[in-house]
Amino acid sequence: MVGANDVVNPAAREKGNPLSGMPILQADRARSVLILKRSLAPGFSGVDNPLFYQEKTMMVFGDAKELLQKVVRQLKAS
């Protein structure tokens, strides 16, 4: 799945922050997660994303569109 920072932030399940109650993609329930991001900065809401710090999460820094295009090219070439 592909989603913006706040859209995959499990903090939305907690009360008392700007994301509380927002529907999210439940990426934190996956066995492994790959994050493509330019930096560790929080999303539009300003809420830190605990998904980034889970052991099952891998993070690659860069432009997501460019990184995904590279991955697709590599997969097609193999």
Which of 6, 28, 48, 63 is catalytic? The answer is 6
Judged on CB neighbours under 10 Å (0-12, 13-18, 19+), 52 is: middle
Told to judge if 63 belongs to the known catalytic residues of this protein, a careful annotator would answer no
Rounded CA-CA distance 36/13 in Å is: 22
Active-site positions read: 6
